[in-house]
Amino acid sequence: MAVPIAVLDCDLLLYGRGHRTLDRFKLEDVTDEYLVSTYGFPRQFIYYLVDLLGASLSRPTQRSRAISPETQILAALGFYTSGSFQTRMGDAIGISQASMSRCVANVTEALVERASQFIHFPEDEATVQSLKDDFYGLAGMPGVLGVVDCTHVAIKAPNAEDLSYVNRKGLHSLNCLMVCDARGVLLSAETHWPGSLPDCTVLQQAALTSQFETELHKDGWLLGDSSFFLRTWLMTPLHIPETPAEYRYNMAHSATHNVIERTFRTIRSRFRCLDGSKGTLQYSPEKSSHIILACCVLHNISLEHGLDVWSSPATGHVEQPEEEYEQMESMDSEACRIRQELLLTHFS
């Protein structure tokens, strides 16, 4: 009696004989509505990913070369957008859960390899000026190159350095530092920081700080909330506004900075593996960090393809630890001077 191919274990399917590819599922055989509901993205977007990642997913060193790039990408998208290795997902494309897990690892690696291609600050003057203009159009805050904040993603308790990943809520997590533009496009994403680190410490140790303190961005600044120290390149709100100008500054700052909160909600809503509704990411901190970064890359690619509708808040996501804010304004006298000049020039 013939054995249904869907129940075969992963070894034959992954390694194959004669390196055959497995093409049970055909994109052209299903509707866009089905693809969006099952894998989170429409057909043309998936075709783009096949073109982008196909060479990496087919290279001879990949153990899973017997599974087509198309099938690997569908398996990974299914996991990213649902947070589950449900049997029905594997059945739909004809592979086992074990094979799905390996496909997710391969696609994640391929996306992480391309992170710098899709997540970066603009360099040419015209694009930088357009970036500032977009932010200024939101609430009248000038000179803004990006808004920065941290968000926690829950992970399973690691075997080593357990306490370093326990956040203030007692949950194991990664603290992810991100910067976005006025549309929610990510300009920087550092997803590997242990959850025990407060936001200000993450920023202090981040590559982002080195990037800005080398004065590569002399003509603008980031906006950060009160969990960060005021810096010459990072404008924070005033702790206790007193004058009308200070209130106007804080209101413009808050309205502009809110973009990254909406961006976090969009990412969690689109990539349910990050929102906690299916439980924590069941991987090591390093692999979890790569999955988060892969989702960030996909987020930017989706915006590039016009899939930029702001999503409603996701349910069931990990609670964000509350930061203990301090009066950090006076730590840098030059930064205080720059902010005061900004107040007098634009908000008085």
Mean of the pLDDT values across residues 194-212?
95
DSSP 227: T
221-223/186-194 β-pairing:
unpaired
pLDDT at 12: 38
| 312-341 per-position pLDDT tens digit | 444 445 556 555 544 444 568 899 999 999
Residue 113 has pLDDT above 70, yes or no: yes
* Coil vs helix vs strand at 266: helix
293 vs 104: CA distance, rounded Å: 13
| 176-189 per-position pLDDT tens digit | 999 999 999 999 99
Phi, psi for 145 (deg, rounded to 5): -100, -15
- Answer whether 0.85 is exceeded by the pTM: yes
The angle subtended at Cα 175 by Cα 251 and Cα 214, nearest 5°, is 70
Mean of the pLDDT values across residues 88-112?
84
Mean of the pLDDT values across residues 8-30?
51
Closest CA to 82 of 293, 296, 316, 275: 275
* Coil vs helix vs strand at 155: strand
Structure tokens at 336: 């205080």
Sheet harboring 234-235: ordered strands across?
A: 186-194, 173-180, 144-154, 221-223, 234-235
> 136-168: buried (b, 16+ CB within 10 Å) or exposed (e) per residue?
bebbebebbbbbbbbbbbbbeebeeeeeebebb
Which regions of 184-241 does DSSP assign to beta strands (E)?
Answer: 186-194, 221-223, 234-235
Which regions of the chain does DSSP assign to beta strands (E)?
Answer: 144-154, 173-180, 186-194, 221-223, 234-235
* Coil vs helix vs strand at 231: strand
Closest CA to 220 of 179, 272, 281, 165: 179
pLDDT band at 223 (very low <50, low <70, confident <90, very high): very high
Structure tokens at 292: 């988060």
pLDDT at 137: 96
pLDDT at 37: 85
Domain boundaries, the chain: 30-57+65-115, 118-307+328-345
pLDDT band at 247 (very low <50, low <70, confident <90, very high): very high
